[in-house]
Amino acid sequence: MAITQFWKKKSQEEIEEIVFGALDANINYQNQVILGIPASYLDGQVFNQDASFLKNAPFISTLVQNPNHIGCHTLGHSEPFFQGTQNIEKDLIEICAVDILKGKAYEQDGYVASGGTEANIQAIWVYRNYFINEKKAKAEDICILCSEDSHYSMDKAANLLTLDIRKVPVDFNTRSVNELEITEVIEKAKQDGKKHFIVVCNMMTTMFGSVDNIDAYTNALTEAKVDYNLHIDGAYGGFYYPFTDEKSKLTFENKHITSFTLDAHKMAQAPYGTGIFLIRKGWIQNANTKASYVEGEDFTLIGSRSGANAVAVWMILSKNGPHGWFEKTYILQKRTEWMCQNLKSLDIAFYRHPCSNIITMRAEHVHPEVANRFGLVPDNHNDPKWFKIVIMEHVTIEKLSLLIEDLKLKTKIELS
Ligand SMILES: *Cc1c(COP(=O)(O)O)cnc(C)c1O
């Protein structure tokens, strides 16, 4: 890890001081006279509001006080009622955009979305509106371009925003896209009248952990002389890949990239509702909705959202610190390598990107009973060709060795 500007490891005491300080800077429904907001603290009959219970629990305290982070807080004005915890969210956005993705300080906007699905749709929405408003495009002149291994949220975006979607095939074994095939898809789209491309490049796919060759996309797009915007889907890989590939080209240093999705509720073990959307300054305005009752308008898809989610992610990153995070991914890489060695010695075919903690085994080498017993996830529930193992915090070598034993047993039975 290079020297971090915003991301500093903090002690539990420091974290509590900052979060409780932020809650003090928010309005307090209990102690103040606040009469105009359609919101309050959590129902006291159900959720314990007892001071001694909440004393050393900054996250639970935030949940109980229930701040609403409606809107985007990295630009313009925001609701003044929740300024304390909004400032924590702003710090979180800088940590992700600058210290993890190598952007320049304060040159990106962003917010904590409901998840990767929303963050991807938000990106595509911004670019669609940009092409329509600034380039006088019609919806039918625009298409989404991604790979066949892309997450199905791209199909949701295409459907909701009434855009065409074109998918580049991937090689069955290497799961990679190549420039030639990208060019073919672009040329076909051009023949069909597409002039503006919303391109989504994967930083670790859900099923394989594969990382798209971004140069293949940008070279093909430049050659084809088409207008495009490029979004990176790091919903799975955003808190992993930047730490395992020192030479990653998927950062804000790459001028072709405008925005990113990261999910803290995948690799970062945060509560659900912690997708992170990041975009270079000057773009999110394309998704502006004049929301007259929200101070500072709304540039987000979601509307009301819990401030506790931003606090949770900020606490997780601050507690670990950048070096702690690097170590976390280092251990998972080591476990993944251990598993790959064992699979090789059993002659079980699998795919794994060298910077990833996902191992996807060819289905013909895995007995369905074994897949079922170990909760391995298929690429397709009706006709599985692959089963994946995701090496998370709880997926220890101890547990992996049980799977190895069962895979061995099954191979023996088949051979005899
Ligand atoms: C999980 C995932 C998504 C969708 O994220 P949700 O948080 O489930 O909405 C999008 N893209 C990729 C690559 C993912 O792994």
CATH code, domain with 263: 3.40.640.10
Token code pair at residue 320: 């670990």
In SS3 terms, 141-186 reads as HEEEEEECCCCCHHHHHHHHCCCEEEEECCCCCCCCCCHHHHHHHH
Q: Among the three residues 303, 320, 337, which one is the final residue of a domain in this structure? A: 320
Measured distance CA(400)–CA(384) in Å, rounded: 21
How many domains does the structure of the chain reveal?
Answer: 2
Which CATH number characterizes residue 393's domain?
A: 3.90.1150.10
The neighbour count for residue 135, using CB atoms within 10 Å, is 12
For residue 71 and ligand 1, the question of a CB distance below 6 A is answered with no
Note whether 149 and 210 are within 8 A (CB).
Answer: yes
Regarding whether 385 and 304 lie in a shared domain, the answer is no
- Ligand 1 centre and the CA of 235: distance in Å? 5
- Ligand 1 centre and the CA of 284: distance in Å? 21
Q: What is the pLDDT of residue 411?
A: 63
Regarding whether 203 and 136 lie in a shared domain, the answer is yes
- Ligand 1 centre and the CA of 277: distance in Å? 12
238-260 burial string, b = 16+ CB within 10 Å, else e? bbbbbbbbeebbbbbebebbbbb
Please name which of 299, 318, 325 lies closest in space to residue 240, comparing C-alpha atoms. Answer: 325
Regarding whether 265 and 227 lie in a shared domain, the answer is yes
* Domain-embedded: residue 214: yes
Tell me the β-bridge partners of 199. 145, 230
Query: Of the residues 124, 151, 388, which should be mutated to test ligand 1's pocket, given the most ligand atoms within 8 Å of the CB?
Result: 151
Q: What pTM does this model have?
A: 0.96
Q: Residue 167 class from Cβ within 10 Å (0-12 exposed, 13-18 middle, 19+ buried)? A: middle
* DSSP state string for 54-119: HTT-HHHHHHHH--B--S-SSSS---GGGHHHHHHHHHHHHIIIIIIT-PPTT-EEEEEES-HHHH
Please name which of 274, 307, 314, 317 lies closest in space to residue 18, comparing C-alpha atoms. Answer: 314
* Domain-embedded: residue 225: yes
Regarding whether 330 and 234 lie in a shared domain, the answer is no
Q: Among the three residues 279, 298, 320, which one is the final residue of a domain in this structure? A: 320
pLDDT in 10s for each residue of the chain, 416 residues:
678 999 999 999 999 999 999 999 999 888 888 888 888 999 999 999 888 989 999 999 999 999 999 999 999 888 789 999 999 999 999 999 999 999 999 999 999 999 999 999 999 999 999 999 999 999 999 999 999 999 999 999 999 999 999 999 999 999 999 999 999 999 999 999 999 999 999 999 999 999 999 999 999 999 999 999 999 999 999 999 999 999 999 999 999 999 999 999 999 999 999 999 999 999 999 999 887 777 778 999 999 999 999 999 999 999 999 999 999 999 999 999 999 999 999 999 999 999 999 999 999 999 999 999 999 999 999 999 999 999 999 999 999 999 999 999 876 556 55
Regarding whether 174 and 88 lie in a shared domain, the answer is yes
* Domain-embedded: residue 28: no
Q: What is the pLDDT of residue 78?
A: 80
Q: Whose CA is nearest to atom 3 of ligand 1?
A: 116
Regarding whether 249 and 229 lie in a shared domain, the answer is yes
Regarding whether 306 and 327 lie in a shared domain, the answer is no
Measured distance CA(44)–CA(109) in Å, rounded: 36
Regarding whether 328 and 315 lie in a shared domain, the answer is no
Regarding whether 283 and 333 lie in a shared domain, the answer is no
For residue 235 and ligand 1, the question of a CB distance below 6 A is answered with yes
How many CA within 13 A on the CB side of residue 381?
2
Regarding whether 367 and 310 lie in a shared domain, the answer is no
- Ligand 1 centre and the CA of 403: distance in Å? 26
- Residue carrying the six token digits 């979060």: 19
Note whether 120 and 155 are within 8 A (CB).
Answer: no
Q: Whose CA is nearest to atom 6 of ligand 1?
A: 116
Atom in ligand 1 nearest the alpha carbon of residue 203: 13
Regarding whether 175 and 286 lie in a shared domain, the answer is yes
State the residue range of the domain holding 340: 321-415
Q: Among the three residues 320, 351, 370, which one is the final residue of a domain in this structure? A: 320
**Dihedral pair phi/psi, residue 234, rounded to 5°:** -110, 35
Q: What is the pLDDT of residue 364?
A: 93
Measured distance CA(160)–CA(132) in Å, rounded: 16
